[in-house]
């Protein structure tokens, strides 16, 4: 390993997007360090793949999150088309199934109509023209949403970064980072290197890495495990596009409820459930990481988060959804009454994380933090949708602070 100006830790879509933007917009000598032998192994390889221009996330016009979402989804869609990457451009429906939800849908409509995205209000009959098997009293429809496959996008971004001479160290785990007067020293399982600046894009591990440099110590993170199901091959025609329930309060920001997603490979995934995970990569049902559990429960932020009545209600709902298939199925049936147990089978698991402040709040906006000689993407929002716009934004920040 050799020394560089800048090291990016994390080969998910955010780390690689930042690498591309630094390579294309600056003269710095950049490297990227990823512990796995492949890119996009964790969150970036295990998500719903929906480009959200705003609807299901209930974005507030004028916020930074809304800007990242709208600009990000347009840019990522154009990128996929230009590079011939898998994309399914079938739009998204946000569905209300009863009177109370119609009221909620109306308030989403009032909020998002100023976002500048194309939306139309559908009554139940119009909804069934788009989705004959979905039952709802009303829906909001946008053609500005799409589904993508994050892994090939990440590899394409990596090619752009490689063209700009970014060095990739794959299969290399960062074990310790220290700051001194002359730079940041990175100890990995393959050797050490020194850099002038560190960019932390370590996903669910980002808060832990920031703490090693004494940054963002007021925050802690808690990992969440999402289990997906998928429609069996012979029942995929139950859903044509992407169907989301309108979420009723209480809700955690960015939590979107059980939804149906038709991916570019034509699989229809359903879910996810959302339970506190017992580790950052504990995808198996019985896996746990004692050190991570200890970290989670030793944080007072976590107890403030878990102690709020809203969180308790959400946790109880999610616990039932996770461990009782019939409860999960009830959530599905609310939108697609015809679905039954034999129509869905267990699919993959994804683990994301919430970053909690000292009040135990998740917060609605991205959380970035900056230290001397370091930038930290603690939690980018709204996810992969915003990876090109946030990647460019962070690359500018790093260049200015370098």
Ligand X SMILES: Cc1cc2nc3c(=O)[nH]c(=O)nc-3n(C[C@H](O)[C@H](O)[C@H](O)COP(=O)(O)OP(=O)(O)OC[C@H]3O[C@@H](n4cnc5c(N)ncnc54)[C@H](O)[C@@H]3O)c2cc1C
CB nearer ligand X, residue 11 or residue 91: 11
Least separation in angstroms between residue 188's CB and ligand X is 7
- What secondary structure does DSSP assign to 75-97, as a single string? HHHHHHHHTT--EE---EEEEE-
Tell me: does residue 245 bind ligand X (CB under 6 A).
no
Per-residue contact string for residues 205-244; x = within reach of ligand X by CB under 6 A: x--------------------x------------------
Window contacting ligand X (CB under 6 A); options: 4-12, 131-139, 301-309, 311-319: 4-12
Check: CB of residue 155 under 8 Å from CB of residue 86: no
SS3 per-residue string spanning 287-326:
CCCHHHHHHHHCCHHHHHHHHCHHHHHHHHHHHHHHHCHH
Interaction residues for ligand X, span 144-173 (CB under 6 A)? 173
Least separation in angstroms between residue 9's CB and ligand X is 5
* DSSP structural state of residue 221: E
CB nearer ligand X, residue 360 or residue 383: 383
* Residue whose entry in the numeric block shows the structure tokens 């004494």: 214
Nearest to 76 by CA among 391, 398, 298: 391
Tell me: does residue 282 bind ligand X (CB under 6 A).
no
Give me the long-range contacts of 173-178 (CB less than 8 A, separation at least 24): 173/35, 174/9, 174/33, 174/35, 174/202, 174/209, 176/212, 177/209, 177/212, 177/213, 178/212, 178/213
Residue from 380, 391, 394, 395 that binds ligand X (CB under 6 A)? Answer: 380
Tell me: does residue 91 bind ligand X (CB under 6 A).
no
Interaction residues for ligand X, span 170-199 (CB under 6 A)? 173-174
Please state, in angstroms and rounded to a whole number, the distance separating the CA atoms of residues 120 and 139: 8
Check: CB of residue 56 under 8 Å from CB of residue 29: no
Least separation in angstroms between residue 104's CB and ligand X is 21
Least separation in angstroms between residue 355's CB and ligand X is 12
Nearest to 160 by CA among 352, 363, 2, 388: 388
Residue from 34, 101, 131, 343 that binds ligand X (CB under 6 A)? Answer: 34
Residue 167 sits at φ, ψ, to 5 deg, of -90, 130
Please state, in angstroms and rounded to a whole number, the distance separating the CA atoms of residues 142 and 192: 49
Least separation in angstroms between residue 123's CB and ligand X is 27
Residue from 6, 7, 9, 199 that binds ligand X (CB under 6 A)? Answer: 9
145 alpha-carbon distance from chain centroid: 15
CB nearer ligand X, residue 106 or residue 347: 347
Least separation in angstroms between residue 200's CB and ligand X is 9
CA angle 7, 176, 283 (to 5 degrees): 90
Residue from 257, 264, 279, 350 that binds ligand X (CB under 6 A)? Answer: 350
Please state, in angstroms and rounded to a whole number, the distance separating the CA atoms of residues 166 and 315: 42
CB nearer ligand X, residue 138 or residue 213: 213
Least separation in angstroms between residue 173's CB and ligand X is 5
Least separation in angstroms between residue 382's CB and ligand X is 5
Residue from 223, 257, 272, 279 that binds ligand X (CB under 6 A)? Answer: 272
CB nearer ligand X, residue 44 or residue 375: 44
CB nearer ligand X, residue 28 or residue 52: 52
Residue from 3, 5, 29, 36 that binds ligand X (CB under 6 A)? Answer: 36
Please state, in angstroms and rounded to a whole number, the distance separating the CA atoms of residues 32 and 13: 12
SS3 of 186, please? strand
Total interface residues for ligand X by CB under 6 A: 39
Per-residue contact string for residues 42-61; x = within reach of ligand X by CB under 6 A: xxx-xxxxx-x---------
CB nearer ligand X, residue 203 or residue 360: 203
Nearest to 70 by CA among 180, 145, 150: 145
Please state, in angstroms and rounded to a whole number, the distance separating the CA atoms of residues 401 and 290: 37
Interface residue list for ligand X (CB under 6 A): 9-15, 33-36, 40-44, 46-50, 52, 173-174, 201-205, 226, 272, 350-352, 380, 382-385
């Amino acid at each position: 390993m050799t020394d560089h100006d800048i090291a990016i830790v994390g080969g998910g879509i955010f780390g690689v997007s930042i690498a591309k933007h630094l390579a294309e917009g600056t003269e710095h000598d950049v490297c990227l360090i990823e512990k796995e032998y492949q890119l996009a192994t964790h969150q970036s390889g295990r998500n719903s793949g929906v480009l959200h221009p705003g609807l299901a996330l209930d974005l507030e016009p004028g916020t930074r999150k809304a800007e990242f979402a709208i600009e990000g989804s347009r840019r990522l869609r154009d990128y996929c088309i230009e590079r011939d990457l898998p994309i399914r451009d079938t739009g998204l429906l946000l569905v209300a199934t009863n009177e109370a939800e119609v009221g909620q849908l109306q308030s989403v409509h009032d909020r998002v109509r100023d976002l500048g995205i194309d939306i139309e209000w559908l009554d139940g009959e119009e909804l069934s023209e788009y989705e004959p098997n979905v039952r709802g009293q009303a829906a909001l429809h946008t053609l500005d949403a799409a589904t993508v496959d994050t892994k090939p996008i990440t590899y394409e971004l990596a090619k752009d970064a490689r063209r700009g001479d970014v060095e990739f160290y794959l299969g290399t785990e960062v074990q310790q980072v220290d700051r001194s007067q002359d730079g940041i020293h990175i100890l990995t399982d393959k050797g050490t290197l020194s850099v002038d600046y560190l960019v932390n894009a370590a996903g669910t591990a980002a808060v832990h890495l920031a703490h090693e440099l004494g940054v963002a110590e007021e925050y802690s993170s808690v990992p969440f495990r999402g289990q997906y199901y998928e429609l069996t091959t012979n029942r995929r025609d139950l859903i044509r596009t992407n169907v989301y329930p309108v979420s009723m309060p209480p809700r955690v920001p960015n939590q979107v409820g059980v939804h149906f997603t038709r991916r570019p490979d034509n699989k229809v995934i359903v879910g996810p459930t959302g339970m506190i995970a017992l580790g950052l990569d504990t995808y198996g049902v019985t896996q746990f990481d004692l050190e991570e559990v200890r970290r989670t429960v030793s944080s007072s932020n976590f107890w403030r988060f878990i102690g709020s009545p809203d969180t308790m209600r959400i946790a109880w709902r999610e616990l039932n959804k996770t461990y009782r298939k019939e409860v999960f199925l009830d959530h599905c049936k609310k939108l697609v009454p015809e679905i039954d147990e034999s129509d869905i089978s267990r699919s993959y698991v994804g683990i994301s994380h919430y970053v909690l402040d000292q009040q135990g709040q998740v917060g609605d906006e991205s959380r970035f933090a900056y230290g001397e000689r370091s930038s930290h993407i603690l939690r980018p929002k709204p996810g992969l949708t915003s990876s090109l716009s946030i990647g460019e934004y962070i690359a500018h920040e790093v260049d200015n602070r370098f």
